Amino acid sequence: MIDVVAPFAEVGYAEAWWIQILKAIIIFLVGFTLVPLALMLDRKLMGRMQMRYGPNRVGPFGALQPMADIGKLLFKQQFRPRTSVGFIFAFAPVISMICAAAAFSIIPFGDTVDIFGAKVGLYGIDVSVGILVAFAFSGLSVYGLMLGGWASGSKYSFLGAMRSAAQLISYELAMGLSLLGVIVTAGTLSLVGIVEAQSGMWFVIPQIVGFLIYIVAAFAETGRPPFDLSEADAELVGGYSTEYGGGRFAAYYAAEYFHMVIASAIAVTMFLGGWQLPFGIDPPTWVDPIVVIVKTVLVVCFFVWARTTFPRPRYDQLMALGWKILLPLATVNVIVTAILVVVTH
Amino acid sequence: MPWTPGDDVIAVQRAPEPGGAGGVYRAFGETLRGLKTTFARMLERPATFEYPEEKVPVYPRFRGRHKLHRFPDTGLEKCVGCSLCAAACPADCIRVVAAENTPERRVSAGERYAAVYEINLSRCIFCGYCELACPFDAITMGHDYEMSDYSRSDLIFTKEMLLAEPLERTPLRTADE
């Protein structure tokens, strides 16, 4: 099979096709369980940090609020401005959604386990280029915002889209360079390999600078406050999603939270040891996915925490931070790491 | 002589001085201080009053929905239909039509009584001038503020509604609160 189609990258371990399909469905379901959870966590935790309750009317402790929100949005009438470009306008949120969901496939939730006699990896796919897949999809997700903003045929949407594109491209550099230190230390691009390389020590300790840069860049990359310049309500009405409503807006909204979950999951995989636990605790393999999910949720909590704390910087300050501080710092980090790796080996 | 602020003066906290490595260090410290502040708020009790279930008690001076009063001993209405409240009302929301008391039918303590006494609460601005204008303390402002209704005509309160022992739905603040 591999002989027929030249693969883009080597795959660490591949299962039978029906397991692949099953895994794809399960990972998709896990992803779309985490998104409402992140949404809920965002609103509840932010509420508590602002000394209020947050939503608490729908369901027990307001737990069904995301469902109610999504239900409401999906049943709204679809409308679009007369100046919009129909096909692209309808398709742009789909691009955002697909890019967000696809990047989730490379997150490893555990090593290969035996399920009913078959060896199954607890990840969508373990490709040798690993993290590059995540970058590719986060790069493609710019198209979702750009096309959506442009096809809306509205000045606010277009301005917001240009802003988000510039912001995403600038911070992609710092983000990539911050992860390069980890890749150099681990000596592999495969995310499973990187997690296994952290069995002795999590990379957050030797790569603390890279971790901090990654977290800051991830805020900007996911368009979360304090770097939500793309939808800065006060200046841009709503950014690229100004003209969107109903299900299409829900897609953008869910994609934003999905991005946040993925950025957290990548932080967990690259820096926080994936399914590994510290102090030599080695639980059975079925605990691994739970460990990864709990760590991811904790990083999402940090996203919410920072969102509540910091005000939004000006646009030029955002760009200055990205280009003048994070990028040189990440470069120095990579060079120092590379020298240390060469010297110690 | 340096100025030392007293306890009642709030010292303004400024952003860290920018510039150099020290500026970076201070900015980082301030970042962590900000995170600490929000985290500490999370451990406190929310300041929310969950309104329909939990009502904020009002002060005794609170000007809510009007009440008309009777003499407690005789049960006669205090209002004599003088229309001073209607004259004082800046929103022009009070309508009084007076009628003579007859020996067979005594309604108020005075010579006349209010045959019609209506307050249009959709126009009322709750200034309390009617209460000040009234020579017999017949009309006072109550503590009730939950007056929303489904139609405008339901907001015109008649004499019977204003005289009726008002359903006090609003908790009153006690002296120590």
Q: Which residues of A touch B48 (CB under 8 A)?
A: 51-53
How far does A50 lie from chain B, in Å, by closest CA? 7
* Candidate from A2-6, A281-285, B26-30, B101-105 with smallest mean pLDDT: A2-6
| B42 to chain A: closest CA residue | A49
Of A48, A53, A306, the CB nearest to B42: A48
Going by pLDDT thresholds of 50, 70 and 90, the confidence category of residue A12 is low
Q: Which residues of B touch A306 (CB under 8 A)?
A: 35
Would you put residue B92 in left (φ > 0), alpha (ψ -120 to 50) or beta? left
Q: Average pLDDT in the A153-172 region?
A: 85
Q: Average pLDDT in the A200-219 region?
A: 87
Going by pLDDT thresholds of 50, 70 and 90, the confidence category of residue B108 is confident
Of A53, A309, A310, the CB nearest to B46: A53
Instruction: Mention every residue, 6+ apart, whose C-beta is less than 8 A from residue A345.
Output: none
- Does residue B177 or residue A219 have the better pLDDT? A219
Question: What pLDDT was estimated at residue A117?
Answer: 66
Q: Average pLDDT in the A142-163 region?
A: 86
How far does B7 lie from chain A, in Å, by closest CA? 26
Residue-wise pLDDT tens digits, A113-151: 777 667 777 777 777 787 888 888 888 888 888 888 888
Mutate to test the interface with B, among A49, A57, A314, A326 (most CBs of B within 10 A): A49
Using a pLDDT cut of 90, give the percent of chain A over it: 4
Helix (H) or strand (E) holding B113: strand B112-120
Instruction: Mention every residue, 6+ apart, whose C-beta is less than 8 A from residue B132.
Output: B88
Going by pLDDT thresholds of 50, 70 and 90, the confidence category of residue B86 is very high
Q: Average pLDDT in the A201-219 region?
A: 87
> A77 to each of A74, A244, A249, B118, how far by Cα in Å?
8, 11, 12, 45
H-type alpha helices, chain A: 17-49, 65-74, 86-103, 131-151, 155-186, 191-197, 208-221, 233-236, 246-270, 288-309, 315-320, 327-344
Question: What pLDDT was estimated at residue B130?
Answer: 92
How far does A308 lie from chain B, in Å, by closest CA? 7
DSSP A282: -
Q: Which residues of B touch A310 (CB under 8 A)?
A: 31, 34
Rg (CA), chain A: 20
Q: Is the dihedral of CA A296, A302, A308, A310 positive or negative?
A: negative
Q: Which of B11-25, B29-43, B123-137 has the highest mean pLDDT?
A: B123-137
Query: In terms of Cα–Cα distance, which of A165, A189, A164 is closest to A179?
Result: A189
> A16 to each of A41, A118, A124, A128, how far by Cα in Å?
37, 9, 13, 19
Residues belonging to chain B with any Cβ–Cβ distance to chain A shorter than 8 Å: 31, 34-35, 37-39, 41-42, 44-48, 50
How far does A229 lie from chain B, in Å, by closest CA? 19
Going by pLDDT thresholds of 50, 70 and 90, the confidence category of residue B176 is low
Instruction: Mention every residue, 6+ apart, whose C-beta is less than 8 A from residue A235.
Output: none
Question: What pLDDT was estimated at residue B52?
Answer: 82
In degrees, rounded to 5, the angle at the alpha carbon of residue A147 between the alpha carbons of residues A146 and A152 is 105
Helix (H) or strand (E) holding B133: helix B129-133
Report how far residue B24's alpha carbon sits from residue B16's, in angstroms, rounded to the nearest whole number: 9
Is residue B28 over pLDDT 50? yes
In degrees, rounded to 5, the angle at the alpha carbon of residue B133 between the alpha carbons of residues B127 and B136 is 125
Q: Are B163 and B118 in contact (CB under 8 A)?
A: no
Query: What DSSP string describes A168-184?
Result: HHHHHHHHHHHHHHHHH
Of A52, A305, A309, the CB nearest to B48: A52
Is residue A2 over pLDDT 50? no
| A44 to chain B: closest CA residue | B42
Mutate to test the interface with A, among B38, B51, B54 (most CBs of A within 10 A): B38
Q: Are B77 and B170 in contact (CB under 8 A)?
A: no
Of B34, B37, B46, the CB nearest to A52: B46
Question: What pLDDT was estimated at residue B167?
Answer: 63
Report how far residue A326's alpha carbon sits from residue B165's, in angstroms, rounded to the nearest whole number: 70
Instruction: Give the strand pairing for A112-115 and B112-120.
Output: unpaired
Q: Which residues of B touch A305 (CB under 8 A)?
A: 35, 38-39
Q: Which residues of A touch B34 (CB under 8 A)?
A: 309-310
Using a pLDDT cut of 70, give the percent of chain B over it: 93
Residues belonging to chain A with any Cβ–Cβ distance to chain B shorter than 8 Å: 45, 47-53, 305-306, 308-310
Q: Which residues of B touch A320 (CB under 8 A)?
A: none
* Candidate from A31-40, A205-214, A224-233, B64-73 with smallest mean pLDDT: A224-233
> A201 to each of A151, A179, A279, how far by Cα in Å?
48, 16, 9
Query: In terms of Cα–Cα distance, which of A31, A223, A43, A28 is closest to A144?
Result: A223
Q: How many helical (H) and strand (E) elements, i.e. helices and strands, does chain B have?
A: 4, 5
Domain boundaries defined on chain A: 17-344
Q: Which residues of A touch B15 (CB under 8 A)?
A: none
Residue-wise pLDDT tens digits, A231-283: 766 677 777 888 888 888 888 888 888 888 888 989 998 888 888 887 777 77
Is residue A62 over pLDDT 60? yes
Helix (H) or strand (E) holding B24: helix B20-43
Average pLDDT, chain B: 84
Token duo for residue A248: 């299409």
Question: What pLDDT was estimated at residue B124?
Answer: 92
Mark A112-140 as b/e (b = at least 16 C-beta within 10 Å): beeeeeeebbbbbbbbeebbbbbbebbee
Instruction: Mention every residue, 6+ apart, whose C-beta is less than 8 A from residue B59.
Output: B173
Cβ-in-10-Å burial (0-12, 13-18, 19+) of A56 comes to middle
DSSP A70: H
Of B31, B35, B44, the CB nearest to A51: B44
Going by pLDDT thresholds of 50, 70 and 90, the confidence category of residue A8 is low
Q: Average pLDDT in the B142-161 region?
A: 87
Of A50, A52, A305, the CB nearest to B39: A305
Going by pLDDT thresholds of 50, 70 and 90, the confidence category of residue A34 is confident
Is residue B69 over pLDDT 70? yes
Judge: B34–A52 Cβ closer than 8 Å, yes or no. Answer: no
Is residue A87 over pLDDT 80? yes
Q: Which residues of A touch B46 (CB under 8 A)?
A: 47-48, 51-53
HSE-CB for A29 with a 13 A CA cutoff: 6
Report how far residue A335's alpha carbon sits from residue A339's, in angstroms, rounded to the nearest whole number: 6
> B62 to each of A263, B55, B118, B123, B144, how far by Cα in Å?
53, 14, 21, 18, 9
Question: What pLDDT was estimated at residue A1?
Answer: 41
